[in-house]
Structures are given as structure tokens and as C-alpha cells.
Structure 1
Amino acid sequence: MSNLWISDEQSETTCLISPNQSRTPLSTFNRYRKIKRAQIELETSIMLGDDDTVIPTSNITISNTAPAMVHAEQSSRSSLKYRGTNGSNCIALTDSDEITIDEASAPIESRYDDFHTIDWQRDLARDRLRHKFIVKRSKTPFGKLSSLWDAGSGWACVLMVGLAAGTIAGIIDIGARWMSDLKDGVCADRFWLDREHCCWSANDSVYKDADCAAWTSWPEMMQFYERNFFYYVLELFFYCGWSVLMTGVTVALVKVFAPYACGSGIPEIKCILSGFIIRGYLGKWTFIIKSVGLILASASGLNLGKEGPMVHLACCIGNIFSYLFPKYGSNEAKKREILSASAAAGVSVAFGAPIGGVLFSLEEASYYFPLKTMWRSFFCALIAGIILRIMNPFGSDQTSLFHVDYSMKWTFVELIPFAGLGLFGGIIGSLFIWANIKWCRFRKANKTLGSNPVKEVLVVTLITAFVSYFNPYTRRSSSSLIRQLFDRCGPEDFMMDLCDYQNKTFSFDKVDDNYHTGELGAGVHSAFIDLIMALIIKLILTIFTFGIKVPAGLFVPSLAMGAIAGRLLGITVEGIAASLQVRWKFVAFQ
């Protein structure tokens, strides 16, 4: 049986309560041995924090039932429960504690109040006590099996998190693409397919921006086939109606069931990983509502992304699965190891970068990140990426939104426009931050907007859908737009304005590497103007969108604006190079 030490505040000494005193009257506590506090800390290797509450002997009572229990109550604040183990001679008491002196029991979970900070030293000390208890029981066959399971439980937990995170990410990507195309129409024969897969299933060799016979628009579903004014008005009505309906359902779910499901979630995740307690932020309801809401909000056409919320969802998965393993579910400090690995998995499925996820968790999110957590984070991120690759939500055997071929050589002179592009990005970023802060302050001060988040979401959605409908690049989802801007022109893109070049050196059997190095055609000039308008529209709408009460990230809109600016710069440099090349040839001929 173990001993329990109770600190005495006045004399800074420690009182020893032997187990055989469990049924002794309270008056016998006056007969105890006093040992200095520093000596006790040295012998037990447990550090007592400055905020530990000292329990006077007048408040100590002993239960009359076995096992022996010392119960102390001082206030109605947070309650921490510990159990004594064989060989543990000192346990810190805080506020209201129940300590069972039983060598057959291990420390049980500690509870913290909402919006409190965990005690890292105490929780890690409790984990060391738990480990000593398991080691002493490992002499028996069952104890050895329990010790092996305890050692491998961390790997099992991150494996489950990786599998679940990859699956959820694939479902969200597929669902968002299908519902995004639902604003324009439906696949008549196979309604469960999005537009791209619908055209592929119909053996339509040309899909990009071309009419697909298998895809039916909503006016055509109502027997309006002629492309007249009424046709486009009806198409606009369905486009805006679906967008408002999706965001309306999303904001209603968030407001009623899970208020924590709105926003990106990354700032709060960083606070939680640093040791802050936010009850319900990583709960099952937040996970369910944010998963459904993220699909609807992404498909509605709002200028937001799903990459930031994926980190929040992955951490929700890690928090839920941690309770299957008492080693992590009952210890807030150890639980942060699983949450760090979950954050890495979230970045992995968002960008298709397992190593990038580990670096994000290490450098940006985590406060406590031991070496073993790094390997587990990489394993979790790798498993999540593999599952997403197997599900293949983008239909390109890639886990990322876009794939770029860097085989083309570049010259030193090209660094000048690259530097200009970086300068432009910095200016746009500063402008966005300044304007968004101003808008958030106005929203907070305005009673109409501050007290009616549902109206704000619906109004922003309606304006976004109406303005975006008339521009072919803002009408697309941000993910689809990024993929289109990063694609190189080929023979299948002859109907796209971005690929309207006057000198095309290609055949349908072989495409020349210089396919789009000719002079710019009328379609490219038209696309150039549309891209400029799309950049301005996206910048303005993103300022008003980020901060509304729906699941929303900021990575994809930022990438979309950067991709538009890069394509504009590329077209400009390409046109200048083609013009200079023609002039040089003319001078050389003369």
C-alpha cells in the first residue's frame, strides 16, 4: 500500500498519512511525521506547482469503506481526481480532490473547466505515474500484453485518425463538386455524377467549356431549349436560388446545432494545442455540422475554401478517437500529441502534402511536440494522403487541387516579372487585411449585422451569385478555376478563349511544346479582360465573405486570386515576347 503526503502551508512541511489510518478518527492526524517539502519532491520526482492548493487538516476526512480514501473540499472550482499507485508517495491536491490509496488502481482523468488552461507539468507527471503502474504490472502475462498495447496505442490512434481524415476529405471533395455543378443543371441519365464525369460517361471527347449532350441545364429540364433572354433569366434564377438555399441550410445548422462550426478553425486549434480548453469545439456535433456545412458552403459559390476547415475536422476526429484510448483521452497533455498528428493529417488531405502537414503542425500549430509525435504525425498524414489518393476525388490520380509540370526551362530575366508578381501579392494581401478588419469592426458595431448573422449570410450569397453569374471565371468554383488556370493549352481546348492563339503548331496525334507561343488571338484578349474583372470581383467579395457564420477558409480564395494574377502576367509577358520575336525577325530579314 502507498502513502499519501498532505502539504502544510504554514510550516511548509508535508504530513504523512499511512494506509492503516483509513479508519482512524480525525483526531489522530495530529500524530504524524513531518518531512520538508523539498525532500518529498526530490524523493518522488513530482513537481508541485505554485498554484497547488494546500489542504489544511481540518478539512480532511476519511471514508469508512475500502479502499482508503482521503477527500478534501475547499471551493466549487475545477475538480482534479487522482489515485495513488504503488510507489507514489506524493500527490498534489488542487481545489476538490479525491485520492484513492490503492496500489491496484491507476490515475484517472483530470477535468478542467471551460476556457481554462491545462497544467502541463501535472498532467505529464500523472502520465509518468501511470507508466510506472503499468511497468510494475508487466511481470504477469496479462500485464505484458497490457504494456505492449499501451506502447502501441498511439500508433493505433493516429492510424485510425489518418484513415478517417482521408475518407472524410474525399467525401467532402466529391460532394462539393457535385453540388457545385447542381447550380447549373443535372446529369439526366445519372444524376449522381457531376458535369465532368457525366460527359466522360457519355463518351464525349470534348468537355472543357463546351456543351455536353449528356448534361441538362435547368431551363432545358423545363423544356426551354432556345438560348434567348428568358432562358438566361431562368438559368440565373436557378443559379442564385441553389446558392441561397445551400448557404441558408448551412447557417441554420451552424446556428442551431454547432455555433463553433463556423469560420476556419485554425486560430482556435492553435490555442487548443497550446493547452487551452474550449469545450465542444472538437466535439461530435461540431464535426458533423462542419462536414455537412463545408460541402454546402463550398458548393454555393461563396469566395471561401475548405482547406482551413479540414484541419479543424481532422482535429475533431483526433479528439473523438482519443477517448477510445484512456492513455490519451484521460490526459489533456497527452491528448495534444494526437491533436498535433491530426492537424498534420488535415493539411495533408487539404493540399496533398504529408511532409507539409508535419511542418505546419511543428512550426505553426503545436506547442508541445516531442520527437515521437513527429513520426506519428508523418505516419498519420501519410495514411490520410494515401486514402485520399485511393478515393481520387479530383479524377486525376492526384491528391492536390492542381498539378504543375516544371520541366520547362526558365531564364534569369524571368525573375523580374516573378518579383513583380510577388510585389503585387503583398500589396493585395495588405489591402485585403486592412479592408477585412474595417468590415469586421463595422459588423461588430452594427446591431443589424451583428445580431442577424443569417440575414448577412443570405445577402452576401445572393450578391455573390448574381455578380459571379455574368463572368465565366467567377461563375466557376474556386477549385475548378485554379485547375483551369494551371492547365496548359492543348488540342482539346480549341474552344477556350484562354487558348485562342493565332499560330497553333499541333496535330490531333501530337502536340508541339510551343502550342501557345503564337500571337494572341481575339479570345485571349477577351479572356484577359474577364480575368481582370474576376480578380477585382473576387477580392471585393472575399473581403465581405470571410467572417460570416459558415464554415469558411481563406486558402483557396487566396490561391485563386494569385492564380488569376499569375495567368494575367503570363499572358502579358507572352504577348510581349511574341511581339519582340516578330519584330526581331523582321529586322533580321531587312
Structure 2
Amino acid sequence: MAADNPTGGPGIVTESTPLLRDQPTPFPRTPKDGRSMTASSYDGDLLPYNSYSTIDWLQGLIKDSARRSQVESLPRHSIRMRVATWWDFTQGWVAAFAVGILTASVAFVVDVSVETVADWKEGYCARSIWLNRRACCSVAEFDGSCSQWTPWAQGFSSRYAIYVGFALLFGLISVGLTMTTKATMPAADASNGIGQGQPQKGDKVATGKILYLASGSGIPEIKTILSGFEIPHLLDLKVLMVKAVGAVFAVATGMCLGKEGPFVHISTCVGYLVGSLVPKYAANERKMREMLAVACSAGLSVAFGAPIGGVLFSYEEISTYFPRRVLWRSYLCSLVAAAALKELDPAGTGQLVLFETNYGVDYDVTHYVIFIFLGICGGMFGGVFCQANFAWSKSFRQLGLIKGSPVLEVFLVVLLTALLQYPNQMIRDTGDIVMQRLLVDCNVVTEDWICQQEALAEKGGYYAWLISGTFIKLILTTITFGCKVPSGIIIPALDGGALFGRMVGQLVPDISPGIFAMVGSAAFLAGVSRMTVSLAVIMFELTGEVKFIPPFMIAILTAKWVADRICADGVYDLAQHLQGYPFLDSERALAKVRELRTTGETALVEALVPPAETMEATTVLTGPNYRVAPSILRAKLEGLRVRGLIDAGLVFVNHQGLCHGYITQAELADALDVVARLDEDGDVNLLDGIFSEHINRSPLCVSAKAPLEYAVEMFDKLGLRYLIVVEEETARVAGVVVKKRLLKLLDE
């Protein structure tokens, strides 16, 4: 997808397709697996993929099969074979275990730090400034007070000003750290459709969108990576550290965001770093994505103490490729992460359940009407939120002053949040504490402020705080999501739903309002994220209320139906669209193909064929005995880079136009580098030497007259990086289609 913000400047226009501008390929290159250059069979991509390119899942499968064949080729029943086989089987489980332990360790540090830093807005511990209020007051005085905790001031105005000042300071620290992860997306100019014309001197260069790798939840980016797209450095150690520290200060500001989304990004970074140490994963992008999918489950597991929900979240919301072995390793990783965090006990409760409740009363059939009502309201908010947040990002965040200075936006949002939330005791604290207080059962707890207000005969003031808190929370959540700080949408959506549910619960007699706060939180999150099965499981793990699974399911299902009618995409899908990440959703793609057919437009594969100029740049005519001059190949490679055809390679055809093979840019650069170092004269033989191990002699082909659904399913089910289109009558090559070209056509 093309970037939204091309800027002026002399240069060359890139190919006007979703193919993104390439980065220079480093030299020299060597095969990733260290094999001999004299191998004669093609066994998948041998080199790291170019920046921002799409991986080839099918070739990853071939390469993994070749690796396993090497293990099985060892002398049968020998000790060496047994050890190699055992290690090949075990290393995935060992890596999953390590990811769980490390993720829990990071989560422990973040959880304790958030509580400590957030408490600094109110005061400090006289014993040690590094102790949070809970730890400082672990041994309270006889009258229940805590003399060790020292507020910064006594008067309301002074405490208000200090609270706002600390919130602004923490916000600036968080956004300042996030700015250190700035990256520029490569871009392709979108001025003329699918790639017409040649680059002309004096044309403008399409510059890429600015991307802050540690900002947001990271879930849209991880979904994109797991679908086969590469975002360099997103999972680096630096990003992990900035994400963790930035999340601490961002959550401590009191902004309408949570650390739960960033935990998924953090755990995926851990998975990538651990996987990079395991040869089976480090050398194969397909296998690496299996490890990343496993790691995702640990992130949500430690965020909510929901190990089963973490596995289902990775399966339902994040992954596009989730075989059974990934399911079992996710199960282990999520279990280990949750168990380790329980032992570390960052909350000091000794419990894994984050918002444990026990209402002691049951619902009856009449309450189902209220659960459905909460689902309808949650769906309405979710649909409106997605549209409003998308419009906010396309309007306010595109203003010159805001777009050029993310720090200013964060400053304004933090200032507005602190000013509006502090006067209201219900929403003054961080999101998880707000949620915990809203789920309170006043039949058991009486000293809580909410319970004291609900016990009053005159509740007008309490209702005003409840209603104002609901609207403030929902509005601030809408303008906060997307700020350039580490942030998640899960906790703010839960808070908004809990506030609304508690408000509705005031109208229902003889049952705890906390029950409706609990169901309302699930409904609002379902409306925003469109999660279903995983969310129902997360909610009962989050609260420990197994008997409320049916109300959860009813509210979640209703919310999803209503939200889908208002806005077809959930918040993470819209975030992907805003960033311009290529992501193929086969169901929606097939629906768009049907729409093309009903409007009378071409719904055949031939609609994907690139223009003649592009095919000229990507086609090489082989001479007798499959020989080609290296100078021709170098010129073609340079042409691909200049035109910004990042995912395109070269297709080799004979004088009849029949396909004889395909080579990617990275592999072509490697082969040409080897030829240059060997200082060989004359033409090179494509069937011998270095080229023979790089050229794919059997690329998948499809007829130009085939229905467009064929291409959609082949790219989706087989995970292709490219597809050769041939003429129906002659089988001559008509074009080479990459996944992003298909996405561009469907997007238009």
C-alpha cells in the first residue's frame, strides 16, 4: 500500500504499486545456512529478505524440509542421529519455556514499576521513595492509617497541580523515549494506479511514512509480521527496552491506555530474540513466525493472568498461520509465563486472577435482557469508536503542527486527561485500579468510596460522577489511542464498559452492580476489538467468575454483531490500514472480488498483470543453453531498485516466452557478487554453478483467464510471495504478480 504522505523533492518516482522502495542490499552476501555454493538444487530463499518485503511461506517449507532431511540422513540408530533428532524436536519446546520465563520477568518489573511511578503523583514513602503505596503501607497502624506514606501536599488545589505536573513529566519521558525508535517506511508513489510509465528525471520521490517502532500496542504490526510481511527492527532489543520503560511512564500518567497491548509486543520481542539463538528458527522466516506466534500468547497471559485466553488470543486475533505444534508450544509458553508471574507476585496478593470477584448471587432469566442491552451499547460504542478514532487520525493528527511534533500531541492529551480525571475519584487512578474498583461487591466491602456513595439515600452526586466519568473515559480513549507512546486499548475499553455497566446496574434491584460492570466491560472491548471466543475466556480468567460465562458470551456476541454493522473493521484492522501495511484477509478479499464481478469489472487474474514497462523490467530472455550476460542481470537488478519494485524479482523466459525460472532480488545480488569475485568472463549458465541454487525452476503459475479467486486463495493458503501469470492459449508468461499488487487492486 502506498504511503499517505509523499513530499516534494527532485528524484525518481517509484513504481506506482504497493511495491515499496528497496533499500541497498549489503555486499558481500553468503547463504544463511552456510551451504556450499556448488549445490544444484533449489531449496528456498537462502538470504534474509529485503527490508519491508513479503516472505515466501512455501519456500520456507521447502527449506525446513531440506533441514530435516539433513538430520534424517545421518547414520541410522547412531548416537549422533539420536542426539540430533532429539535436539531438533526439543529446541522448540526449550525456546517456548525460555520465552515464558523471560516474558514473566519483564512483566514483573513493568508491573511493579508502574505502581510505584503512578503513586509518585500523589506522594512518596518515607521509608524509601522506591516503594509504592501498597508496599509502604503493608503494615498499617492500629487505626488503619499509614504514617509512612507522605502526600506531597494537603490542599486540593496543591495536590491537583502536583498531580498534573507529574503526569506531564511522565508523559514527556514516555514520548521522548518513543522518539528514539523512529524509522521511515519505504514508499511507492500512488499517482497513477498500478504502475504505469517509466521513471522520469525531475519527478518527485515518494518518501515513506514515519513510524515509531515502540509506539502504540504493537499488535497491528505483529499481525502484519505474522502474515508474512517484514518490518525491520520492530522486534529488536532496543525496541523491547524502550517499549517496557515507555509503557511504565505512559501508564503512570493516568492516560486512557493500558500496558496489556504493549505486553504482547514485548513478549514477541522476547520470542524473536530467543528464536534468533536457535538455528532452526534463525535461518527460516516461516519457522521464526511460529516462534513469534508462540510468544504472543505469553504476552496476554502475563497481562491478565489468563494463560488459556493468551493462547486463544494468539490464535484468533494475531496469527494467520497456527498449526497444531504452535498450539501446544503456545500452551506451554503461556502456562510457564503465568506460573512464573504468580510466583513473582508483582501485585502482592499471591493470586493469578487480576480482578478476582465473588458476588455470591446469581442472575436469572430476566437479566439476559440487560446483558443483551449492554452488548448493544458496547457494539455501538465500538463501531463509533473505530470510526471516530480513524477520523481523528486522518484529520487532527495530519495537521502540520501535530504531525511534525508528536510530543506536542502527547503533551496536550496528558494535560487534558489529568485536568478532567483528577476531580473524579472514580477515574483518577490508572486503568487497572479503576477496573478493580468498579467490580467491587458492596455486599462484602463497605469502606470503599464507591460503596459509601451507593449506600447513601441521596445518590444524585454519585450518579453525576458515574455519568461524567463514563463520557470522559470514552472520549479520552478515542483521542488517546494512536498517540506516540506505548499504549494499549484493552484496559481503557474495559474501563469504559465497566463504568457504563455500573451505571446501568444502579437501576437493577437486588443484584450487585458489579456484575453488570463486569459484563459491560466485556461488551465494550468486544465492540472495539471484535474478539469473541478468546475474549469470553479472558474475562472469566480475569475475574474468576466461571458461572458468568453465558452472560459474557451473550454480551460479546451482541456487541460484535452491532459493531460490525456500524464499522466493518476492528480497531487493529483500521490501525493496519492507517499505517499502510499489506495484509491479506482472504474472506474480505473474496467479498471484494464478488463486488468487482457484480459491478461488471474484470474479475480474472489478467487484471493483476503488470503493465508492459514493468514486465520489461522484470523479464530476462535467456539465450541458447540458458546462458545470460551478467551485465544484463546487473542492469535489471539496478532497474528494479530504482523503480522501487521491492518484492519483484526476475523471471527467465526462452525465445517462445515460456517460463524457465524465477529469482528474487536478494538472491540475484548474491549470485552476481559471487560471479564478480570469481572474475569469470562471458555469459553465465543459469543451470549450473551459483545460479542453479538460487533460481526457482518451478514457480507456481496460473492462467490469465482464471477467476481472480484463484489468485486470492493461492496467495492466502500457500503463502506465496509471487505468482506467474501465463496466457491461456500459449502458456507464455504474461506477468509476475506479487502479493502487494493483489492487495492494491482489491484496495482500489
1:533 aligned partner: 468
Q: Distance in 1 between matches of 2:37 and 2:390?
A: 57
Describe the shift of the 1:93–1:212 C-alpha distance in structure 2 as closer, same or farther (beyond 3 A): closer
Describe the shift of the 1:385–1:82 C-alpha distance in structure 2 as closer, same or farther (beyond 3 A): closer
2:112 aligned partner: 174
> 2:167 aligned with 1:243, yes or no?
yes
Q: Distance in 2 between matches of 1:238 and 1:530?
A: 22
2:125 aligned partner: 187
1:292, CA displacement in angstroms?
Answer: 0.3
* Secondary structure, aligned partner of 1:572: coil
1:491-547 Cα deviation digits (max 9, x unpaired): 763362433566xxxxxxxxxxxxxxxxx533x543222111111111111111111
Of 151, 158, 163, which residue of structure 2 is paired with 1:217?
Answer: 151
Tell me the number of residue pairs that the alignment of Structure 1 and Structure 2 aligns. Answer: 459
1:549 aligned partner: 484
> 2:499 aligned with 1:499, yes or no?
no
1:521 aligned partner: 457
Q: Distance in 2 between matches of 1:366 and 1:324?
A: 22
2:62 aligned partner: 125
Amino acid at match of 1:167: S
TM-score scaled by length of structure 1: 0.73
2:602 aligned partner: none
Q: Distance in 1 between matches of 2:329 and 2:511?
A: 51
1:163 aligned partner: 101
Matches within 5 A, 1:297-312: 297-312=250-265
1:354-388 Cα deviation digits (max 9, x unpaired): 11111121222112222111111100000000011
* Secondary structure, aligned partner of 2:291: helix
1:113 aligned partner: 50
> 2:352 aligned with 1:417, yes or no?
no
Matched residues, percent identical?
A: 35
> 2:42 aligned with 1:91, yes or no?
yes
Assess if the C-alpha contact under 8 Å between 2:388 and 2:478 holds in 1.
yes
Amino acid at match of 2:156: Y
Describe the shift of the 1:170–1:576 C-alpha distance in structure 2 as closer, same or farther (beyond 3 A): closer
1:9-33 Cα deviation digits (max 9, x unpaired): xxxxxxxxxxxxxxxxxxxxxxxxx
1:55 aligned partner: none
Assess if the C-alpha contact under 8 Å between 1:348 and 1:384 holds in 2.
yes
1:147, CA displacement in angstroms?
Answer: 2.8
Of 453, 457, 481, which residue of structure 1 is paired with 2:434?
Answer: 481
Query: Segments of 4+ in structure 1 off by > 6 A?
Result: 74-79, 85-88, 575-578
Describe the shift of the 1:214–1:83 C-alpha distance in structure 2 as closer, same or farther (beyond 3 A): closer
Q: Distance in 2 between matches of 1:182 and 1:158?
A: 36
Assess if the C-alpha contact under 8 Å between 1:298 and 1:306 holds in 2.
yes
Asked which structure has the greater CA Rg, the reply is: 1
1:412-454 Cα deviation digits (max 9, x unpaired): 1111222222222122222222221221111343101110101
Q: Distance in 2 between matches of 1:282 and 1:75?
A: 21
Q: Distance in 1 between matches of 2:152 and 2:354?
A: 28
Of 203, 212, 215, which residue of structure 2 is paired with 1:262?
Answer: 215
1:193, CA displacement in angstroms?
Answer: 2.4
Of 69, 87, 90, which residue of structure 2 is paired with 1:149?
Answer: 87
* Secondary structure, aligned partner of 2:213: helix
TM-score scaled by length of structure 2: 0.58
Matches within 5 A, 1:121-520: 121-137=58-74, 139=76, 140-203=78-141, 206=144, 212-219=146-153, 227=154, 231-257=155-181, 259-405=212-358, 407-489=360-442, 493-494=446-447, 496-500=449-453, 520=456
Amino acid at match of 2:482: G
Assess if the C-alpha contact under 8 Å between 2:43 and 2:63 holds in 1.
no
Q: Distance in 1 between matches of 2:421 and 2:61?
A: 53
Q: Distance in 1 between matches of 2:28 and 2:49?
A: 9
Q: Give unpaired runs (5+ residues) of structure 1.
A: 1-73, 95-108, 220-226, 503-519, 579-590
Q: Give unpaired runs (5+ residues) of structure 2.
A: 1-24, 183-211, 514-748
Q: Distance in 1 between matches of 2:453 and 2:425?
A: 16
Higher RCO, 1 or 2 (CA under 8 Å, sep at least 6)? 2
* RMSD (Å), alpha carbons: 2.8
Describe the shift of the 1:148–1:195 C-alpha distance in structure 2 as closer, same or farther (beyond 3 A): same
Assess if the C-alpha contact under 8 Å between 2:454 and 2:462 holds in 1.
no
Of 505, 511, 520, which residue of structure 2 is paired with 1:570?
Answer: 505
Describe the shift of the 1:464–1:370 C-alpha distance in structure 2 as closer, same or farther (beyond 3 A): same
* Secondary structure, aligned partner of 2:124: strand
Assess if the C-alpha contact under 8 Å between 1:494 and 1:500 holds in 2.
no
Q: Distance in 2 between matches of 1:464 and 1:269?
A: 29
Q: Distance in 2 between matches of 1:298 and 1:461?
A: 11
Describe the shift of the 1:285–1:424 C-alpha distance in structure 2 as closer, same or farther (beyond 3 A): same
1:80, CA displacement in angstroms?
Answer: 5.8
Which has the larger displacement, 407-416 or 551-560?
407-416
1:182-239 Cα deviation digits (max 9, x unpaired): 1000111233322223222234674xxxx643321112xxxxxxx5xxx322212211
* Secondary structure, aligned partner of 1:493: coil
